[in-house]
Structure 1
Amino acid sequence: MSEPLEIADHGLIGDLRTCALVGVDGTIDWFCPSRFDAPSVFGAILDEERGGSWKLAPAGGVTRTHQFYYPDTAVLITRFLTADGVAEVHDFMPVPDAADTSHRQRLVRQVRGVRGTVRMRMRLDARPDYARQTCRAERRSEGVLLTGDGARMGLAASADLDVTDGTVGADVELSTGDTAVFILEMLGPDDDVTSAAVGTTDDLLKVTTAFWRRWLAQSTYAGRWREAVHRSAITLKLLTHEPSGAIVAAPTTSLPAPIGGSRNWDYRYVWIRDAGFSTYALLRLGFISEAREFIRWLSERLGQRDCASDGRLGPLRVLYDIDGNLPDEVELPHLRGYRDSAPVRVGNAAAGQLQLDIYGEIIDSVYLFNKHGPGISHDAWQDITAVVNWVAENWDSPDAGMWEVRDDDRPYTTSRLMCWVAIERTIRIARARGLPGDIVSWSKARDDIYDRIMTKSWNADINAFTRVEGGSDLDAGVLLMPMLKFLSPADPRFLSTLDAVERHLVTDSLVFRYEPGTDNLDGDEGTFSICSFWYVEALTRAGRLEDARLALEKMFTYANHVGLYAEQVSATGEQVGNFPQAFTHLALISAATNLDRALAGTDGGTP
C-alpha cells in the first residue's frame, strides 16, 4: 500500500455547510456529507485501505502535478502533466448565492484536456458512517444511486459508469479542449439520481466563482499581504455553517500532532474560543454579516445557559456541535489513523472541561461587534451580564487552561488574563451604551484579577510572566497581554517576558505554545502556528517592526502550496494536526493587518 499524502498536500473546497479535502493526486479523501460534523463517506486520510475515497487522475504515469485556486475563489484546480499531455480537474461545491434556502449539495469534478491526449481514470468508493458501512451501488437511468447507513447519493456523469462490488469507475480519454464531468449529489429519502446538472456545469462554475468574488469584494483589506490575508478569509468563510452562523475550528478529525502519537482530536465543532477570535478577524476585514450571524448563534447558547449542578463548569461550555449540543467522545478502532496514528476519535471530551479563558474571548467578540456592528440587543445584554457575574465570582478556580490539558486543572495565567478581559469589556460596553449593570463589583473583580496576575504570575527570578501562578515555565499565550490591553507593549515586564519567550519557546519564527515535555502527553509536539502569528503581533506592538516583518514572511513559507495551514509545524517543517485550522488563519489576518498599520505609521492597536 502506498504512503498516504502529507496532510499539507491537500486543497479545501466547500459549500458553507461542509468541506472536502482534495489531494494533489486528485483524490477526495475526506468528506462528511450534509454538514461538518456528520459521519464521513470518504475517510481515506484516516485509513487509506478502509476509509473510502473518490479518485480521479491520469491512468498512466504522472510527471508532475500542480494545484491552485481560481483567483479569489474556493474553486480548486489540480493540473496533471504526463508524457502524453496535460489535463486539469476543476473541483468545487456549488454556492450560487448567499442564504440559499433551496441548496442542493453537490461535489462537482470537471476534467479538461489542456494539451495532447490523456486517459483519465475515476474510481468512487464511498464508505458511510466513518467506514463502518459499505455502499450499495445501483444503476439508474441517469446515473448510479449510492445508498448506505445514513447516506443517499447520486452520481451522474458525462461518461459511461461501471459498477463493481459497490464501487463506481469510469475511463475517459481527453484531447485538447475535451471535457468530462462527474457530479456527486446528496439526495433526500425520496430523491432519485438526476443528470440535469451535468449539462449545466459551466453555469454552476460561473455562479460559484461569482459568489466567492462578490463575497471577497466586501473586504476592506488592501495591504501588503493581500493574497495571504484573503486566502485566510476564504478559509474562515469555508469553515462557516451558513444556515446556523456557527464557525467550526477545522473540517477534520484525528489528524495527529505529532504523527505516530495519540494527540488526535476531533475539531469539527464550534470552539467558543476559536469562533470568538474568528469573529474579530472577520470584523477587521469588514465582514459584518458573518460576525452578526455568529453573534446570533452565540446568543442562542447564552440563552440556554447550562450550569452544572455545582456550578463548576459555568454558564458556557468549551465547545458545541453546530446545533448547540455537547458531543460525546468515542474511538473508532476499525480505522488505523493517519499513518497509524491511533486512536481515531469522533466527538470531543473537552466539552466537559472548565476553561475560563473562553469567557474573555467570547465577550471580547461581543464588545467588538457592539462597537463596529449594529449593537447587541437587550436580551443579549441580559445574558452577558449573567455570564460576567458568574465570571466575577469564579475567576480564581483552577481550570484546564487555554490549551485544554486533560486531568490537570491548574491556575493558568491565560485563564486569569481572559477573565480580566471578560469583565473589562463588559464594563466598557455598559459605559459606552449606558446599560445597567453592577459596575462597582465588576470593577473590583477586574482589579483583583489584575493584582493577582501581577503578583502571582510574575516570576522575578526569570523576569517573566509564567504559565501558571507560582510557576517557572512559560506560555506563549502571555504574548496576548498588549493585544488585549492588559499591559502596554512598552511595559518593562512585557518586554522582558517577550525576551524570555524568545529564548525558550521560539525557534526561528516558529513558537511552541509552552515548553515541550510539560503536558504529560506522548510524542514531541510541534510548534503552534497561532503562537507564531501572536509572536509577530507582539514584535509589532513592541516596535520591532523589521523583526516582525521578517517573522511574518518566514511564517508565510510554512503555508502549503495553496496558502493553507494546519494546527502545528513539526520539527522537520511538516504541517501536522487538523487541517486547515481556523485558529491559525484568523491569527494570520490579525498579525498582517496590525503590522500593515504599524508599517504605515498609524496605531497598530486592537480596535
Structure 2
Amino acid sequence: MSSLELGLIGNSRTCALIDRQASIVWWCYPYFDGDPICCSLLQNEEQAQRHGQVAVQLEGATSSEQYYERNSAILVTRFRDEAGNGIEVLDFAPRFHQHGRTFAPAMLVRIVRRLSGRPRIMLKVRPAIDYGTERASIRCGANHISYHGSGQSLRLTTDASISSVMDERPFFLHESITLLMGPDETVDGSAHDVGRSFYEKTLSYWHHWVRNLHIPFEWQDVVIRAAITLKLNAFEDTGAIVAAVTTSIPEAPNSQRNWDYRFCWLRDAYFVVNALNSLGATTTMEHYLDYILNIIADTRDAPLQPVYGIRREAELHESVAPALAGYRGMGPVRVGNLAYFQVQNDVFGEAILASTQAFFDTRLERPAGKHMFADLERLGEQAIRSYNVPDAGLWELRGTKRVHTFSSMMCWAACHRLGCIARKLGLTDREQYWFGHAETIHREICDKAWNPELGSFVATFGGDQLDASLLLMAEFQFLDANDPRFAATVETIEKHLRRGEFLLRYDEEDDFGRPETAFLVCTLWWILALAQMGHKERAREQFAHVLTKCNHLGLLSEDVATDTGEQWGNFPQTYSMVGLIQCAARLSIRWDKAYNS
C-alpha cells in the first residue's frame, strides 16, 4: 500500500520520490510538470507490476533504513538480508557548478554498493508513458537502454549487465553498479566514473549551499531539511516555484479533494521566497522576480491569475488520467488545475510582498529600482479595484464567491508595501498615494470583517465563519500582535477550529462537504501567532508536537488526520515546510544567548 514515507531528490530541474524500499515511485520527466514515467505512487498493485517504477531489490531483504547524506539532497537506502548480506543505494539528481554555470540536467543517478557479504540483487526499470497508460518501448545498446514514448526519450546508461536489466534477472553484486537515467544522449565517460564524479560534486554543492544558510540555534536539522526541500521545488529555468511535486494525493481519504499541485501559485511562492530570504538564500527570490515580472509583462493590464505553469503557461486545463487508479485507489488523478481561471484577489499582495526585499537588500546583484516599482504599481492599482470584490479566496472555493477578509488584507498589504518602497525610492507623492489607499482599505476591513457577536475578525465581510488565515494578521503587520482584537481573533479561531493539537482551515460546508483533515500550515500559523503574543512556551510545545508528524526524513505533506496523525495531501508541501522554518526561527534560543548558564 502506498504511503508518504518517501524521500525527495532533485536539482531544481527534475525531482523524484523514493520509498523505503528504494523504489522510485514518482518521477515526472523531464521536468516537474511532465509525464510521470515513474507513477506507482498513484497506481494499484496490478498496475504497478506492469510499469511505472524503477526499483532495486535485495533478495531476501529483512531490514532497511533510509536517510539523507548530511546537509544534502542525496538519499541513502540500506538493506540487509537474513545472512547479513547488505547493500546501499545512493539516489540523487546532479547539481553543481561547472564552466561558470550551474549544471543540473534532467537526470537521476543511482549508485548501488555492496556493504557486506555476497548480496544478490535485481533491477527493475519499467518507465510508463501517457500517465500510466502503457510501458515505454525499448531499444538496447552496448551499455545503455533507451525508453521511448509520447515524444520523450529516456536513456539508462549503466555498468550493470544489460541483459540482467532487460530480463530482470537477479545477480550477485560484487562491488558497485551505477545507473545514469536521463536524456537520450551519449555519456562522456564510464557510468562508474561519471556517477562517482557527479556524486562528489553534488555533495560538495549542497554542503556549500547549506553552509551559507543563516539558521537558528535550535532545530537546525529541521530547518536545513526544509530549506533544501524548498530549493528542490524551485524550477530554476524560469524561476517558478511549485506548490508540491505531486498530483492528486487526497486531502482526506475518499474525499475527491485531489488536485494537481505541480504549478506555481503566486501565494505559495511568496511564502517560499520569504522563508528562504530569512535564511539568507536570496537567489531563489531573484529568479522568482524574473518569473513574476515576465508574467506581469505577459498579462499587461489583464487580471493576475492565482497560478501559472512553470514556463508561465496561463491555461492549465484540468483533465483526469484514467489509467491511474489514484493514491491507495482513491482517484481521480487530475492533470492541470482549474484554479487558473478563478478570481483570487490576494495575489496582488503576494506578488508585491515577494518583490519588496529586492528594493531594500543591498547584497543583491540586481537591486530593484523605479522600473520595477512602476511594474508593481500596476498590480497595486488592481488591488485598489479588487479589495472589496467577491472572489474564491485563498482556499479556492469553486462554488461560491464572497469578499474574503484575507484577500482584502493582502490588497492592503500590496498598497502598504508600495508605500514603503516609494519612501525608499524618495517618491513622496507615490508614498502618500499608496499609504492613503492602504489606510482606506484598513478601515473598511476593520469595519466590515469584525463580528461583534463573536468578538473576532471573520472569514468574509459581514460573515460569521472563522478562517485560519486570519492568524497572519500580525505577521503581515495589519494588526499589532498586542492588539486586543488580534488576541480575541486567535482565541476564537482556536476555540472553533482546533481539533486535538491541530487546526482546520475552516469548518463550514464547501464544494466537497466539510473538511476532514487539518491543513498543517494553519497549525504552524497558530504557533507563530502564539509566539507573537508572548506565549512562547506554549508555542514551543505545539511545535514539538507538529514535528512528531514529520516522516522519517523530516518531510511534511499538506494535511494531517487529526485522529491518527497520518499525513495526507500532496507531498512534500512547500507551505508546510515554510511553516517549519518560520516557527523554528521564531521560537529558537538566540545564538548569542545559547551558551548562557
The reply to whether TM is greater than 0.5 is yes
Offset, 1:181: 1.9
Structure 1 residue 30 corresponds to structure 2 residue 26: yes
Q: Within 5 A, what are the aligned runs for 1:498-513?
A: 498-513=490-505
Report the identity percentage: 32
Mapped to 2, the partners of 1:597 and 1:368 lie a distance apart of 25
**One-letter amino acid of the structure 2 residue matched with residue 410 of structure 1:** R
Partner of residue 109, structure 2:
108
Mapped to 2, the partners of 1:194 and 1:119 lie a distance apart of 29
Mapped to 1, the partners of 2:164 and 2:300 lie a distance apart of 50
**One-letter amino acid of the structure 2 residue matched with residue 301 of structure 1:** I
**One-letter amino acid of the structure 2 residue matched with residue 337 of structure 1:** G
Partner of residue 542, structure 2:
551
Structure 1 residue 322 corresponds to structure 2 residue 310: yes
Query: Cα distance 1:301–1:168, how it changes in 2: closer, same or farther (>3 A)?
Result: farther
**One-letter amino acid of the structure 2 residue matched with residue 70 of structure 1:** E
**One-letter amino acid of the structure 2 residue matched with residue 476 of structure 1:** A
**One-letter amino acid of the structure 1 residue matched with residue 434 of structure 2:** W
**One-letter amino acid of the structure 1 residue matched with residue 305 of structure 2:** R
Query: Cα distance 1:102–1:463, how it changes in 2: closer, same or farther (>3 A)?
Result: closer
Query: Cα distance 1:24–1:347, how it changes in 2: closer, same or farther (>3 A)?
Result: same
SS in 1 for 2:340: helix
SS in 2 for 1:21: strand
Structure 1 residue 451 corresponds to structure 2 residue 443: yes
Structure 1 residue 357 corresponds to structure 2 residue 349: no
Partner of residue 182, structure 2:
185
Query: Cα distance 1:378–1:597, how it changes in 2: closer, same or farther (>3 A)?
Result: farther
Mapped to 1, the partners of 2:427 and 2:128 lie a distance apart of 54
Mapped to 1, the partners of 2:95 and 2:396 lie a distance apart of 35
Mapped to 1, the partners of 2:282 and 2:432 lie a distance apart of 32
Conserved in 2, the CA contact under 8 Å of 1:33 and 1:40? yes
**One-letter amino acid of the structure 2 residue matched with residue 75 of structure 1:** I
Mapped to 2, the partners of 1:434 and 1:505 lie a distance apart of 44
Partner of residue 579, structure 1:
571
**One-letter amino acid of the structure 2 residue matched with residue 404 of structure 1:** E
Query: Cα distance 1:573–1:61, how it changes in 2: closer, same or farther (>3 A)?
Result: farther
TM-score, reference length from structure 1: 0.92
Offset, 1:138: 1.7
The superposition leaves residues 516-547 of structure 1 with CA deviations (integer Å, 9 ceiling, x where unpaired) of x4223147431111111111110110000100
Partner of residue 371, structure 2:
379
Query: Cα distance 1:197–1:599, how it changes in 2: closer, same or farther (>3 A)?
Result: closer
Conserved in 2, the CA contact under 8 Å of 1:144 and 1:193? no
Query: Cα distance 1:451–1:82, how it changes in 2: closer, same or farther (>3 A)?
Result: same
TM-score, reference length from structure 2: 0.93
SS in 1 for 2:243: coil
Query: Cα distance 1:104–1:417, how it changes in 2: closer, same or farther (>3 A)?
Result: closer
The superposition leaves residues 164-213 of structure 1 with CA deviations (integer Å, 9 ceiling, x where unpaired) of 9xx663523236xx2122221222xxx45777333332221111100111
Partner of residue 605, structure 1:
none
The superposition leaves residues 325-371 of structure 1 with CA deviations (integer Å, 9 ceiling, x where unpaired) of 12211111222111122211111110001111111122112112322
Structure 1 residue 11 corresponds to structure 2 residue 7: yes
**One-letter amino acid of the structure 2 residue matched with residue 480 of structure 1:** L
Gaps of 5+ in 1: 309-313, 603-607
Query: Cα distance 1:369–1:101, how it changes in 2: closer, same or farther (>3 A)?
Result: closer
SS in 1 for 2:587: helix
Offset, 1:412: 0.9
For structure 1, which segment, 140-149 or 575-584, has the greater mean C-alpha deviation from structure 2 after superposition? 140-149
Mapped to 2, the partners of 1:479 and 1:255 lie a distance apart of 26
Mapped to 1, the partners of 2:591 and 2:516 lie a distance apart of 34
Partner of residue 282, structure 1:
276
**One-letter amino acid of the structure 2 residue matched with residue 213 of structure 1:** H
Conserved in 2, the CA contact under 8 Å of 1:39 and 1:130? yes
Conserved in 2, the CA contact under 8 Å of 1:76 and 1:91? yes
Mapped to 2, the partners of 1:600 and 1:473 lie a distance apart of 43
Structure 1 residue 429 corresponds to structure 2 residue 421: yes
Conserved in 1, the CA contact under 8 Å of 2:52 and 2:132? no
Structure 1 residue 50 corresponds to structure 2 residue 47: yes
Conserved in 1, the CA contact under 8 Å of 2:93 and 2:108? yes
Mapped to 2, the partners of 1:283 and 1:62 lie a distance apart of 43
Mapped to 2, the partners of 1:71 and 1:601 lie a distance apart of 26
**One-letter amino acid of the structure 1 residue matched with residue 393 of structure 2:** G
Conserved in 1, the CA contact under 8 Å of 2:18 and 2:24? yes
Offset, 1:301: 1.1
The superposition leaves residues 125-170 of structure 1 with CA deviations (integer Å, 9 ceiling, x where unpaired) of 1112212343111211122121111221111222213389xx6635
Mapped to 1, the partners of 2:459 and 2:434 lie a distance apart of 25
Query: Cα distance 1:416–1:102, how it changes in 2: closer, same or farther (>3 A)?
Result: closer
Q: Within 5 A, what are the aligned runs for 1:214-293?
A: 214-293=208-287
Offset, 1:598: 7.7
Gaps of 5+ in 2: none
Partner of residue 139, structure 1:
140
The superposition leaves residues 392-413 of structure 1 with CA deviations (integer Å, 9 ceiling, x where unpaired) of 1221100010111112111111
**One-letter amino acid of the structure 2 residue matched with residue 432 of structure 1:** K
**One-letter amino acid of the structure 1 residue matched with residue 18 of structure 2:** V
For structure 1, which segment, 580-589 or 448-457, has the greater mean C-alpha deviation from structure 2 after superposition? 448-457
Query: Cα distance 1:599–1:495, how it changes in 2: closer, same or farther (>3 A)?
Result: farther
Partner of residue 87, structure 2:
87
Conserved in 1, the CA contact under 8 Å of 2:118 and 2:173? yes
**One-letter amino acid of the structure 2 residue matched with residue 87 of structure 1:** I
SS in 2 for 1:207: helix
**One-letter amino acid of the structure 2 residue matched with residue 64 of structure 1:** S
**One-letter amino acid of the structure 2 residue matched with residue 324 of structure 1:** R
Offset, 1:478: 0.5
Query: Cα distance 1:108–1:492, how it changes in 2: closer, same or farther (>3 A)?
Result: same
Query: Cα distance 1:259–1:163, how it changes in 2: closer, same or farther (>3 A)?
Result: farther
The superposition leaves residues 416-446 of structure 1 with CA deviations (integer Å, 9 ceiling, x where unpaired) of 1111111111111101221376444433432
